[in-house]
């Protein structure tokens, strides 16, 4: 019988991780000893995306831009009250016809008008003090439209026309850009430029150079604008409602991880 030869010893290389000043430096495993083998005698798979050794730096920065708005969104409509549900809805429908006509006369396209709320609710009298159930006294019908106005020069006149033709509720007004993509892209460029400047500053201060970007994460949002200024006028001069749109802002924040090298 032949003697059984001992299996070759497998040396497992050690790895070292150095951490200093918020950056990490990972050294490659030593190759002075035998290669680390898997149980089936094959070399383990290596990731080509791994960076070893590497020193990374994470930087956060924001970019903001402001633009004059080119559109406004208003929420307006009609609320009516009557003793019966059918009367409340009928009166509401008649007044809404006037609102639609006013918007069309002001040049608002049908695609820019959307019903945002339609409701019919009973109204009760809770003044009974003898413990009896509340009395049903009537119904309230409400129909609200979300309207996009693209001619801001006539925004005040458009709102006045809605009221003149039967509208009795205006519950929201906001400004924006019809296509904000250009403003958002400019905010992105500003955010990345700031992040690059900071990364180069930190690299130079620590004796490194920025080698490349490892990851980028973005968060974008519309910056709140001041409440638009409105002044209702009903004097003999016939002046329309005054509305000031101000500016709308867009902001983008980025978190970028850089690889630094000596």
pTM (2 d.p.) = 0.66
Identical fold for domains 62-67+180-261 and 71-176, yes or no, is: no
CATH number of 71-176: 3.30.70.2970
Angle value at C-alpha 88, between 83 and 94, nearest 5 degrees:
145
Mean pLDDT of 122-141: 91
Confidence of residue 16 (pLDDT cuts 50, 70, 90): very low
User: Which superfamily, per CATH, for 62-67+180-261?
Assistant: Protein of unknown function (DUF541), domain 1 (3.30.110.170)
pLDDT one-digit tens code per residue, 49-108: 554 558 999 999 999 999 999 999 999 999 999 999 999 999 999 999 999 999 999 999
Distance of CA 209 to the CA centre of its chain: 35
Residue 234 has pLDDT above 70, yes or no: no
E-state strands within the chain: 17-20, 23-26, 55-67, 71-82, 113-125, 135-149, 169-176, 209-223, 229-231, 242-244, 248-261
Residue 225 has pLDDT above 60, yes or no: no
Residue 187 has pLDDT above 90, yes or no: yes
Q: How far is CA 98 from CA 91, 145, 157, 260, in A?
A: 11, 13, 15, 67
**What distance in Å separates the CA atoms of residue 64 and residue 45, rounded to the nearest whole number?**
45
Q: How far is CA 29 from CA 10, 24, 42, 48, 113, in A?
A: 15, 16, 17, 15, 66
- Tokens found for residue 261: 């090298």
Nearest Cα to Cα of residue 162 among 176, 145, 150, 174: 145
Please state the domain extents for the chain. 62-67+180-261, 71-176
Per this entry, what is the length of the chain? 262
């Amino acid at each position: 019988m032949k003697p059984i030869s001992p299996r070759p010893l497998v040396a497992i290389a050690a790895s070292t991780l150095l951490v200093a000043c918020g950056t990490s430096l990972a050294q490659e495993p030593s190759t002075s000893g035998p290669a680390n083998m898997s149980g089936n005698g094959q070399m383990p798979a290596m990731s080509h995306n791994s960076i070893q050794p590497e020193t990374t730096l994470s930087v956060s920065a924001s970019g903001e831009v402001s633009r004059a708005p080119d559109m406004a969104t208003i929420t307006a409509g009609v609320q009516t009250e009557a003793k019966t549900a059918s009367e409340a809805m009928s009166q509401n429908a008649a007044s809404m016809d006037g609102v639609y006509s006013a918007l069309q006369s002001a040049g608002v396209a049908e695609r820019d008008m959307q019903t945002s709320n339609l409701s019919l609710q009973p109204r009760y009298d809770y003044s009974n003090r003898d413990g009896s159930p509340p009395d049903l006294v009537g119904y309230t019908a409400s129909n609200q439209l979300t309207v996009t106005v693209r001619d801001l020069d006539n925004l005040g006149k458009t709102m006045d026309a809605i009221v003149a033709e039967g509208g009795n509720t205006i519950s929201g007004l906001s400004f924006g850009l019809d296509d904000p993509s250009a403003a958002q892209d400019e905010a992105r460029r500003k955010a990345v430029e700031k992040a690059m400047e900071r990364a180069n500053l930190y690299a130079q201060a620590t004796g490194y150079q920025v080698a490349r970007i490892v990851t980028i994460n973005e968060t974008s949002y519309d910056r709140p604008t001041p409440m638009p200024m409105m002044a209702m006028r009903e004097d003999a001069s016939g002046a329309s409602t005054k509305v000031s749109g101000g500016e709308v802002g867009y902001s983008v924040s980025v978190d970028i991880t850089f690889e630094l090298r000596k």
